[in-house]
């Protein structure tokens, strides 16, 4: 989708460069005239760029090369992503307007204009989403024997079974609320499924309000599978909870007539804000704030498109929402809950083909992982290579009598994960276990509070990082007694310590016995758990202190090399590129002739392809089976390349307001990472190219060219 605003800004950027006075030709080398690299025309709006990523996800639902049920999952992930986008990003823009705290980014776009553009895009894309579901995916699933049964086609046998199910499982837990002066409009939970009901008649007390609300309990499944014996033909027969409630709503209001029953859902502001100067106990403050997340200000209303206008207007007034914030949908209003299809339908032929992640031979053949790391560093790329060696390192450390201390950061992980179980075992066996838990990992706060309690009960020293700076670093340190000396083993990564996401997200893990890396990781933990001045690191770079400056230094060095006619090339793969100083440095490098390849999964503020500014920059996004999550960069350095991996994206929050770790790779590991970056630049089927106007187009093999998927190639390289 080409955004008119973005097109105008892109054209303005070109005009800005072309309007410079021409320079007379002489025999002397002439410096390029200066360009205002802070000009707003040179930047794409962050929120609109984020939306473009979600649209690329939705496009996967139409890709017939994906298995059918995976296409459905992409469509549902689009819903889940949009939910969070409204809860956080849209809510933030509305909050700025409400309290007169408008802040503009480098693109200088006012929040009011951003909100208007978001609404325009989202209305079009949500309508398209339901069109894909109803006209493409449902019919194709029907052809495959996966039937979503509408009420009008229920047989008598099915209706009888469904009524029994309704009476036994729904009626006991559902609580309809009639609206009258003593029963005001109920406080409904964020993103919950609800029904607004039109009633006729009087109840037992003689009340005649004409309206009621039915909140659907979250304990109830949104999809119900019918027994095979009451269904005709083979396949899977499913019904929506909303269909049950629609069909038997009369039973919930005895003696009254239900004239209409319509689904709706409210999305609320779910961001948590703190005044850090007032916080005395972060955990207790967070516990108090979590409840309020369910009842923040409303930011979006979704309603069944058959809902009468007077009822929609009533809901809009109740939640102080306008027409642009109201989404009339042709189907279930809570599509994300359709993900239950994965558990209800056993059709492996309609899913991704299973694979077994590989394990490097030196680790696989060596039972003692400490010996393996003494021999050589290990670089793992998940999910193509297994996460098990990382878990095994911790498990072996928990049991090893020579291990005296373990230090670990945790951002997103399960309370009962293998990682946590090993930390608990280590603490109970008397080892010194220190865990830095980031309580404010968005939407995982409650889980992390439970995690902290479990670790503390086991005897771990638990700290919550640094107030005001999220601890996003991924680091583990094992201290082991060997021949009378203490030896450190380290793990550094680009992703979280979560075995589940390690099967779904692409991330690097670096395992090493390098002495200097171990010293640096130790110093990082000292900064997190204690107090003191910034400690100088030998090999690592950490935010908010040195990582940002190091990356700028690397870009500027390539710029100088290009200006002197030497080999200069930059490759960066991150989830987001929004930090203005880094973008300006990349623009400067491009003007100097540096070849720049950027693989940015999501938000990107930089405009590539602007003549005389960013024409040497290519930006692409990879969307496929796995969520691209690695953060790595390569600098050619005139034939002496330097390669880095990090926990940080190239965004303001990561580089300036979080605790992050970046680490260099050398030798074979550096060569390997460069080769894998090349794969992503070679991808001609799952890659999308960003244009100067902010739009993306999907790459396809040219005539006679073989199809090349980076993710498929990595599976071929590493998976078993």
Residues 352 and 373: their CA atoms lie apart, in Å, by 34
In angstroms, rounded to a whole number, what is the distance separating the alpha carbons of residues 316 and 494?
Answer: 43
65 assigned to some structural domain: no
The per-residue pLDDT for 364 is 85
Per-position b or e across 84-93, b if 16+ CB within 10 A of its CB = ebbbbbbbbb
- On whether both 235 and 334 belong to a single domain, the answer is yes
Q: Are residues 405 and 526 in the same domain?
A: yes
**Paired sense of beta strands 432-437 and 461-463, if any:** parallel
Say whether pLDDT at 275 is over 70.
no
DSSP symbols for 140-172: HHHHTTEEE--GGG--HHHHHHHHHHIIIIITT
Q: Are residues 322 and 230 in the same domain?
A: yes
What pLDDT is attached to residue 209? Answer: 67
Is 3 inside a domain boundary? no
Q: What is the mean pLDDT of residues 171-181?
A: 86
The pLDDT value given to residue 9: 52
Point out which residues pair with 698 in neighbouring strands.
688
Q: Determine which one of 50, 246, 472, 569 is catalytic.
A: 472
Q: What is the pLDDT of residue 1?
A: 43
| 273 or 212, greater pLDDT | 212
Q: Quick check: 651 pLDDT over 70?
A: yes
Q: 548 and 534 in one domain?
A: no
Q: CA separation (Å) from 83 to 66, 122, 422?
A: 24, 11, 35
Q: Are residues 594 and 575 in the same domain?
A: yes
Burial 268-305 (b: 16+ CB within 10 A, else e): bbbebeeeeeeeeeebebbeeeeeebeebebbbbbbbe
Task: Give 195-227 pLDDT, tens digit per residue.
Answer: 999 988 766 556 666 889 999 998 999 999 999
Within this chain, do residues 520 and 604 fall inside the same structural domain, yes or no? no
Please tell me whether residues 602 and 617 are part of one structural domain: yes
Domain contains 374: yes
What's the pLDDT tens digit per position in 126-151?
999 999 999 999 999 999 999 999 99
Of the three residues 487, 510, 538, the one that is the final residue of a domain is 538
Residue 127 makes CB contacts below 8 A (sequence gap 6+) with 330
Q: What is the mean pLDDT of residues 267-286?
A: 60
* Domain membership flag for residue 47: no
- Mind listing the pLDDT tens digit for each residue in 585-628? 999 999 999 999 999 999 999 999 999 999 999 999 999 999 99
Confidence of residue 35 (pLDDT cuts 50, 70, 90): confident
pLDDT higher than threshold 80 for residue 253: yes
Burial zone of 46 (CB within 10 Å; 0-12 exposed, 13-18 middle, 19+ buried):
buried
Residue-level pLDDT at 279: 44
Q: Domain ends where: 517, 538, 559?
A: 538
pLDDT in tens, 503-551: 999 999 999 999 999 999 999 999 998 877 888 999 999 999 999 999 9
Output the pLDDT for position 205: 53
Q: What is the DSSP string of 553-590?
A: HHHHHHHHHHHTT---EEEEEES-B--HHHHHHHHHHH
- pLDDT score recorded for residue 397: 96
pLDDT of residue 288: 54
Residue 11 is predicted with a pLDDT of 56
Q: Is the domain of 390 the same as that of 445? A: yes
Average pLDDT, the chain: 89
Q: Which residues contact 598 (CB under 8 A, 6 or more apart)?
A: 571, 572, 573, 577, 586, 604, 606, 608, 617, 618, 619, 620
Q: Which residue has the higher pLDDT, 65 or 202?
A: 65
Between CA 554 and CA 552 the distance in angstroms is 5
Domain co-membership, 575 together with 663: yes
Number of domains in the chain: 3
Q: What digits encode the pLDDT tens for the residues 90-103?
A: 999 998 888 877 78
Q: Are residues 574 and 529 in the same domain?
A: no
Asked whether the beta carbons of 547 and 537 are under 8 A apart, the reply is: no
Does a structural domain hold residue 16?
Answer: no
Is residue 24 over pLDDT 50?
no
- In tens, the pLDDT along 357-400 reads 999 988 888 788 999 999 999 999 999 999 999 999 999 999 99
Residue 527, domain member (yes or no): yes
pLDDT of 326 reads 98
* Residue ranges at the known binding site for ATP: 81, 505, 601, 629
**Local structure of 702: helix, strand or coil:** coil
Looking at residue 444, its pLDDT comes to: 61
- Does the annotation count 183 as an active-site position? no
Domain at 705, CATH number: 3.30.870.10
In this structure, is residue 23 part of a structural domain? no
- Residue numbers of the domain that contains 439: 361-538
Q: Tens digits of per-residue pLDDT, 454-489? A: 889 999 999 887 877 888 999 999 999 999 999 999
Q: In this structure, what CATH number is given to the domain that contains residue 275?
A: 3.30.1840.10
Q: Does residue 277 share a domain with residue 200?
A: yes
DSSP state of 40: G
pLDDT of residue 179: 84
Helix (H) or strand (E) holding 289: helix 282-293
In-domain check, residue 323 = yes
**What residues form the annotated binding site for Mg(2+)?**
412, 442
Residues 455, 524, single domain; the answer is: yes
* Secondary structure of 580-599 as H, E, C letters: HHHHHHHHHHHHHCCEEEEE
Q: Which of 485, 516, 538 is the last residue of a domain?
A: 538
Write out the two tokens for 122.
Answer: 């989202």
């Amino acid at each position: 989708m080409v955004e008119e605003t973005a097109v105008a800004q892109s054209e303005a950027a070109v005009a800005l460069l072309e309007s410079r006075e021409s320079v007379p030709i002489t025999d002397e080398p002439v410096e390029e005239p200066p360009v205002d690299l802070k000009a707003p025309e040179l930047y794409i709006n962050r929120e609109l760029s984020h939306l473009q990523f979600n649209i690329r996800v939705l496009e996967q639902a139409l890709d017939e090369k994906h298995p059918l049920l995976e296409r459905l999952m992409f469509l549902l992930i689009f819903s889940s992503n949009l939910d969070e986008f409204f809860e956080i990003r849209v809510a933030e823009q509305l909050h700025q307007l409400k309290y007169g705290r408008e802040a503009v980014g480098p693109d200088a776009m006012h929040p009011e204009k951003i909100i208007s553009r978001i609404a325009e895009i989202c209305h079009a894309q949500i309508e398209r989403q339901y069109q894909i579901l109803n006209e493409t995916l449902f019919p194709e699933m029907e052809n495959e024997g996966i039937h979503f049964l509408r009420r009008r086609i229920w047989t008598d046998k099915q209706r009888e079974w469904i009524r029994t199910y309704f009476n036994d499982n729904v009626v006991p837990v559902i609580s309809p609320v009639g609206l009258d002066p003593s029963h005001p409009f109920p406080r409904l939970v964020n993103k919950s499924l609800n029904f607004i009901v039109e009633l006729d008649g009087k109840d037992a007390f003689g009340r005649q309000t004409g309206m009621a609300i039915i909140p659907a309990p979250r304990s109830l499944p949104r999809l119900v599978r019918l027994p095979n014996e009451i269904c005709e033909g083979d396949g899977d027969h499913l019904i929506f909870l909303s269909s049950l409630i629609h069909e038997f709503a009369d039973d919930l209001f005895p003696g009254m007539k239900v004239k209409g029953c319509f689904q709706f859902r409210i999305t609320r502001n779910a961001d948590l804000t703190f005044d850090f100067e007032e916080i005395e106990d972060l955990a207790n403050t967070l516990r108090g704030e979590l409840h309020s997340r369910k009842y923040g200000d409303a930011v979006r209303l979704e309603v069944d498109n058959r809902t009468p206008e007077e009822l929609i207007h009533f809901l809009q007034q109740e939640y102080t929402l306008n027409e642009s914030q109201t989404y009339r949908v042709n189907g279930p209003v809570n599509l994300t809950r359709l993900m239950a299809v994965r558990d209800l339908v056993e059709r492996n032929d309609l899913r991704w083909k299973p694979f077994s992640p590989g394990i490097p031979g030196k680790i696989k053949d060596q039972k003692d992982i400490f010996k393996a790391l003494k021999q050589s560093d290990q670089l793992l790329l998940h999910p193509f290579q297994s996460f098990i060696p990382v878990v095994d390192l911790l498990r072996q450390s928990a049991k090893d009598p020579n291990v005296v201390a373990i230090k670990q950061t945790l951002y997103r992980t399960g309370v009962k994960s293998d990682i946590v179980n090993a930390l608990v075992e280590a603490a109970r066996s008397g080892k010194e276990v220190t865990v830095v838990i980031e309580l404010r990992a968005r939407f995982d706060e409650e889980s992390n509070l439970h995690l902290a309690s479990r670790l503390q009960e086991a005897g771990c020293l638990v700290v919550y990082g640094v107030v005001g700076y999220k601890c996003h670093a991924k680091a583990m340190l094992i201290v082991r007694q060997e021949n009378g000396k203490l030896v450190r083993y380290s793990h550094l990564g680009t992703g979280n310590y979560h075995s589940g996401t390690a099967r779904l997200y692409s991330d690097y893990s670096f395992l090493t016995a390098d002495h200097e890396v171990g010293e640096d990781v130790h110093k990082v933990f000292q900064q997190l758990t204690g107090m003191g001045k910034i400690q100088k690191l030998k090999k690592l770079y950490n935010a908010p202190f040195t990582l940002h400056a190091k990356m700028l230094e690397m870009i500027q060095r390539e710029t100088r090399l290009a200006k002197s006619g030497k080999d200069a090339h930059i490759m960066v793969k991150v989830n987001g590129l929004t930090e203005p100083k880094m973008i300006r440095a990349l623009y400067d490098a491009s003007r100097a002739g540096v070849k720049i390849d950027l693989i940015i999964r999501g938000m990107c503020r930089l405009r590539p392809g602007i003549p005389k500014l960013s024409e040497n920059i290519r930006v692409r996004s990879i969307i496929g089976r796995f969520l691209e999550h690695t953060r790595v960069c390569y600098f050619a350095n005139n034939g002496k390349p330097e390669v880095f991996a990090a926990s940080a994206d190239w965004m303001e929050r990561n580089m300036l307001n979080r605790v992050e770790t970046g680490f260099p790779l050398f030798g074979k590991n550096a060569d390997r990472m460069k080769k894998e970056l090349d794969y992503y630049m070679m991808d001609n089927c799952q890659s999308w190219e960003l244009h100067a106007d902010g739009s993306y187009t999907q790459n396809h093999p040219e005539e006679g060219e073989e199809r090349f998927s980076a993710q498929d190639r990595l599976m071929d390289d590493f998976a078993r």
